Structure 1
Amino acid sequence: MPKLNPTVLLVIMIGIGFQTAFVKSITMNLIVAGVTLIYLLLAGVKWRYLGVMFAISLPLAFATWVSFIAFGTGNTIHLAWVYATRLYAYLFLGGALTLTVAVKDLLFSLHRHAHLSSTFTYGLLAAFNLLPRVRRQVKTIQYAASLRGVTYHLWSPHLYFKAVLSALQWSDDLALAMTSHGFSEGFPRTDTINDPLPKWQWLVAALLIAAYAVGAWVIQPR
């Protein structure tokens, strides 16, 4: 099965996700969750990842269901199932993008097809590439503090204050590195990455969003 372009996937996710926030339909939530789950399986996502997603979200869905049953007003049973199933609709809808597309591919696709600015694209890419270094820096700060008999927990504000100071220094180094590699803000750049987006994929996005709109606002299943 050919994968959809990251830009098209993002448009589908926003188009359907925005409507889902206002639709109180258990059936539509299950349809969204089911269709996106099938797409994830066809895209080659491992069952293990899907199982972890389901296991982590199950207590949240159950807590949502119980809270509406216990404290809701009106048709509490229907609303409880609506919000519990909506959680899985959003979960798998977001997973269709995040589990099948790398951050780099998404950013370059948006840069090419949605005209995302070069500064924003490469700035975000640099930030994501710095995440492993941030984790190492946090561990280094904790280790240095432990040598002085001080313990920095993950919720300690001192830990994040020191990490922010390190990140500010990295931002200057990053700006110098981008300039030395020929990056000039506001000037055109040569695209070296081929990211095809066939017109039929835009048609698929429009049909899916329109089909959801018809089902949610015209047919209006429970």
Structure 2
Amino acid sequence: MAYSVVVVDDHVLLSQAIGSLVEAFDDFKVLYLCNNGQELIDKFESKENIPDVVLMDVNMPILNGIETTVYLKDHFPDVKVLALSIEEEENTILKMLRAGAKGYLMKDVKKAELNEALLEVINNGYYHTNTIARILVDSLRNKDTGIASLKEREIEFIKHACSEKTYREIADIMCLSPKTVEGYRDVLFEKLNLRNRTGLVIYAIKNKIFTP
């Protein structure tokens, strides 16, 4: 039995090319192509138009891939979404995966890997490349040591630590003893898995605690 696939991409020629690739796979057939998420949702009004897998672009007009994937997760949870995009930004990848996508591929993916990804999504429920797996792990690690876990005074200390002030000067500003400030420093280094003040500054910039 061939599994059904729908390609959603606003670039018509690229969408057709992807569809032709999928048609060449033994285990898959293309039901139809869509230009955007809204067009796909409209198609889903007929049961015969509901596929096993949707190959979803991210950046599209009217209704983008993230919004569409959220809708499908809520209304058609059995339909598996596999993102296929040129977007390499980690934040975009995470948004797509959190929306419900079962995997994320770049559009320059090789034919064999696309086939493997489709089979893995059907058989195992997901497909993650090593790069995507690393992004997910980093995301979980950052979540565990995120801003939400920091106390108000710790955030205040981090902001001061991003300046050229010495720890003694920071202690004066915060009306604390130098030893207490050093305690803040050591606790933060341990909590955020950092080794030095430079690492703390990088963390602050990355998490928008401090803007240089």
**TM-score range, shorter-chain basis?**
under 0.3
Of Structure 1 and Structure 2, the greater helix share is in 1
TM-score (norm 1): 0.25
Higher relative contact order (CA 8 A, sep 6+): 1
Of Structure 1 and Structure 2, the greater strand share is in 2
Q: Which of structures 1 and 2 has the bigger CA Rg? A: 2
TM-score (norm 2): 0.26
